[in-house]
């Protein structure tokens, strides 16, 4: 019955027309002009593809969420953005980092900013973004290691010449969480511009004791040194300090109900802080009429602390709760360099868009962990009588149980050719070569000496070749049918060295193979459709050990699925954005007692459906309505705890007082549904917020 209801809802929503964009004509140089029209429903190209290719001619599934859409739906985190993206589910991330599952591949590292790796574990702000691009499928050719299920690329705002504006935004919700931001662009002269984005967030929600603060600032500078040369420089500072809340435990195979607000930890201990400095320089150069290049250098310094007590068990018979805990610190310095060369040429028979480039990176990381130590149990875990709020017995911290330093160096070379055979057929083919070296020092093992056969020095070197191939058939200019094949790899990181038993298999890189067929259809200038069927196989992968959440196990997986997304305009006044995904993922090759015993993948709902509609009543007033459905999902790979399915309804109202001043009201969970949107393991399960409202204003001058 449930599946029937979902199917009817999806069919009804997808029978509605939506907005799209016809392909733009080419200029004298043969470069496709990229134009964005309408509101937030029609990004025609993605910076993550690294070429000016229209999305209709890209043989993979891509979603783009613009700054306007994020603002109008009151999105404040990567998780908020992903909730309205088909094929992507969110994780709790231990409440100190972004964590998502794309096409069955759980990741905390497949994040990029302006095409550069952004794999430090933290909550990424949205205040300085033009858009978020979700590129599904194995993406090693464009992004390097990882990205087996897809990648998230954040595109930041840049200073624009010949524009002068300042936008002030402020808002507060019924939990007293508030935000103030500024976006100010100043044209110095016809060749120079300066822009600054800044934000201050007061963090709060329905959970007891949950609070915190985050502020960030991002000045950028643009110089058009000549007609062919553009230089862009930026610096970002992020400071985040918040209480860590890892949700509620489970009971009898389901999330513990009736304690939606209860904090299972110690608020004066559960804390995470981040301080980040990120400096970037980018040069864009038109070399000839047909060739262009861009080079980017980025240096970033991150200082991260994370400490918490969290539930690992609950007994309703004894009325007890069991907590575990630790303190974890990480520092990292990233130096990244990237050079891309793009050419649009003809060999006399076929048209080519050639992309080639090199990438170099060095990442130095130091990490240490101390366990909680309870005097009563002489251990890092303790079981005690449950109360609301908890009265946690006294504890201290041990000496470091982990102290590691890693040095990662990677070098990459890649080339890709998009070949237009004729008006109907296009071929995309490319290959990437990666060399990845990592040296790890386990300081504790090193201090213990080498008598046990382990001197604390671990190292690995991986050389990988990642191919990509795609075929596109265009029966009409506004329609493309495509098939694609791609591979990606993921070498072991420093933490994985310490969480796995060190043997030959554990040192091997993970491998991903993605097969996909899809349809992209611009019905008219106001109608569009994208759909894809895919299969992802993962070999020598890692998953959280269900019996020890702090460790990993080796496993192979297979995910099959279907995605469809509609984005657009029913009438001049009525817009809609809808998406649906059907996902089926399981282990490969698990045998118990001589029998195949593959388990379903964790945090992978079979059905996910979202629709957001917005209607303009007149020039001053607009209203919005959103619907979200997520079917059941397992909390971990052992399939012992299941998060129930849920529906959630959101609403919004917008009032434009003048060209300068506007107001909006966003209501989340309109019917006060009790639900559990995500988990980290069987006893760390997030509770959905009850009905809440946010009012905000924006002033532009």
The pLDDT of residue 168: 98
pLDDT in tens, 680-691: 999 999 999 999
| Burial status of residue 258 (CB atoms within 10 A of its CB: 0-12, 13-18, 19 or more) | exposed
pLDDT in tens, 371-407: 999 999 999 999 999 999 999 999 999 999 999 999 9
Rg (CA), the chain: 25
Distance, in Å, from the CA atom of 362 to the CA atom of 440, rounded to the nearest integer, reads 14
Strand partners, 626: 612, 650
Backbone angles phi, psi at 98, to 5 degrees: -75, 135
pLDDT in tens, 248-273: 999 999 999 999 999 999 999 999 99
Residues 597, 598, 604, 608: is their CA dihedral positive or negative? Answer: negative
Residue 389: asked if its preceding bond is cis (omega within 30°), the reply is: yes
Containing H/E element for 67? helix 67-72
381 and 683 Cβ atoms separated by less than 8 Å: no
This prediction's pTM: 0.90
Distance, in Å, from the CA atom of 38 to the CA atom of 601, rounded to the nearest integer, reads 39
Distance, in Å, from the CA atom of 21 to the CA atom of 23, rounded to the nearest integer, reads 6
Task: Report the half-sphere exposure of 504 (CA within 13 A, side-chain side).
Answer: 0
CATH class of 2-700: mainly beta
Q: What tokens appear for 151 in the block?
A: 């990648």
| Burial status of residue 8 (CB atoms within 10 A of its CB: 0-12, 13-18, 19 or more) | exposed
The pLDDT of residue 549: 58
Per DSSP bridges, beta strands 271-286 and 229-242 are antiparallel
Distance (Å) of CA 52 to CA 44, 124, 229, 608, 664? 10, 27, 18, 31, 35
Residue written as tokens 């009409």? 476
Cβ neighbours of residue 317 under 8 Å, at least 6 residues apart?
Answer: none
The pLDDT of residue 452: 79
Give 588-635 as a DSSP string.
ES-EETTEE---BPTT--SEEEEEEEEEE-SSSEEEEEEEEEE--EES
Backbone angles phi, psi at 572, to 5 degrees: -60, -25
| Burial status of residue 197 (CB atoms within 10 A of its CB: 0-12, 13-18, 19 or more) | buried
SS3 2: helix
Give 484-530 as a DSSP string.
EEEEEEE---HHHHHHS--SHHHHSPEEEEEEEEEEEEEEETTEEEE
Distance, in Å, from the CA atom of 357 to the CA atom of 416, rounded to the nearest integer, reads 9
The pLDDT of residue 137: 85
The pLDDT of residue 141: 87
Q: Which regions in the chain score pLDDT beneath 50? A: 1-42, 494-506
């Amino acid at each position: 019955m449930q599946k029937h209801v979902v199917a009817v809802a999806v069919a009804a929503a997808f029978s509605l027309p939506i907005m799209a964009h016809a392909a733009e004509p080419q200029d004298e140089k043969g470069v496709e002009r990229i134009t964005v029209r309408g509101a937030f429903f029609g990004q025609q190209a993605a910076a993550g593809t690294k070429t000016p290719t229209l999305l209709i001619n890209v043989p993979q599934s891509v979603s783009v969420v613009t700054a306007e859409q994020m603002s109008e739906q009151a999105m404040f985190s990567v998780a908020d953005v992903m909730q309205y993206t088909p094929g992507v589910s969110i994780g709790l991330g231990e409440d100190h980092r972004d964590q998502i599952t794309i096409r069955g591949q759980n990741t905390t590292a497949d994040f990029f900013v302006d095409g550069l790796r952004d794999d430090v574990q933290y909550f990424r702000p949205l205040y300085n973004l033009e858009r978020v691009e979700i590129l599904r499928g194995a993406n090693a050719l464009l992004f390097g290691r990882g990205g087996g299920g897809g990648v998230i690329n954040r595109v930041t705002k840049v200073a624009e010449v010949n524009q002068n504006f300042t936008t002030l935004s402020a808002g507060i919700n019924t939990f007293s969480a508030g935000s103030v931001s500024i976006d100010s662009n100043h044209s110095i002269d016809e060749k120079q511009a300066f822009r600054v984005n800044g934000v201050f967030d007061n963090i709060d929600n329905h959970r007891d004791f949950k609070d915190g603060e985050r502020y960030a600032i991002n000045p950028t500078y643009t110089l058009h040194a000549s007609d062919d040369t553009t230089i862009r420089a930026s610096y970002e500072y992020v400071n985040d300090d918040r209480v860590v809340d890892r949700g509620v435990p489970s009971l009898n195979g389901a999330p513990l109900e009736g304690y939606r607000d209860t904090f299972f930890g110690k608020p004066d201990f559960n804390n995470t802080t981040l301080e980040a400095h990120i400096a970037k320089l980018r040069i864009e150069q038109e070399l000839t009429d047909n060739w262009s290049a861009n080079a980017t250098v980025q240096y970033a310094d991150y200082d991260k602390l994370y400490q918490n007590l969290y539930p690992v068990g609950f007994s309703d018979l004894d009325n007890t709760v069991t907590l575990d805990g630790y303190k974890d610190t990480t520092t990292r310095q990233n130096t990244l360099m990237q050079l891309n060369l793009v050419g649009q040429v003809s060999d006399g028979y076929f048209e080519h868009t050639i992309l080639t480039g090199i990438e170099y990176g060095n990442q130095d990381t130091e990490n240490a962990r101390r366990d909680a130590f309870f005097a009563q149990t002489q251990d890092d875990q303790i079981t005690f009588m449950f109360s609301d709020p908890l009265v946690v017995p006294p504890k201290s911290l041990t000496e470091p149980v982990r102290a590691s330093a890693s040095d990662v160096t990677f070098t990459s070379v890649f080339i890709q050719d998009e070949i237009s055979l004729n008006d109907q057929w296009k071929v995309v083919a490319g290959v990437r070569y990666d060399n990845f070296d990592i040296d790890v020092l386990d300081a504790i093992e090193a201090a213990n000496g080498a008598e046990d056969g382990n001197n604390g020095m671990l190292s690995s070197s991986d050389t990988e070749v990642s191919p990509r191939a795609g075929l596109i058939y265009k029966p009409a200019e506004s329609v493309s049918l495509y098939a694609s094949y791609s591979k990606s790899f993921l070498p072991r990181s420093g933490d994985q060295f310490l969480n796995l038993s060190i043997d030959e298999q554990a040192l091997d890189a993970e491998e991903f193979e993605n097969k996909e067929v899809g349809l992209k259809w611009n019905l008219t200038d106001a109608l569009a459709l994208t759909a894809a069927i895919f299969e992802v196989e993962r070999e020598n992968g890692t998953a959280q050990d269900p019996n020890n959440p702090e460790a990993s196990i080796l496993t192979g997986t297979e995910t099959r699925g279907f995605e469809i997304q509609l984005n657009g305009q029913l009438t001049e006044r009525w817009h809609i954005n809808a998406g649906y995904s059907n996902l089926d993922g399981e282990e490969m090759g698990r045998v118990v007692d001589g029998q195949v015993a593959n388990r379903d993948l964790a945090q992978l709902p079979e059905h996910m459906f979202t629709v957001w509609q917005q209607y303009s009543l007149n020039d001053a007033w607009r209203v919005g309505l959103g619907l979200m459905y997520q079917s059941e999902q397992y909390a971990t790979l052992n399939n012992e705890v299941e998060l129930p399915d849920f529906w959630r309804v959101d609403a919004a109202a917008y009032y434009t007082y003048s060209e300068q001043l506007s107001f909006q009201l966003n209501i989340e969970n309109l019917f006060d549904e009790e639900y559990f949107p995500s988990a980290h393991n069987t006893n760390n399960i997030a509770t959905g917020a009850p009905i809440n409202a946010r009012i905000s204003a924006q002033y532009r001058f």
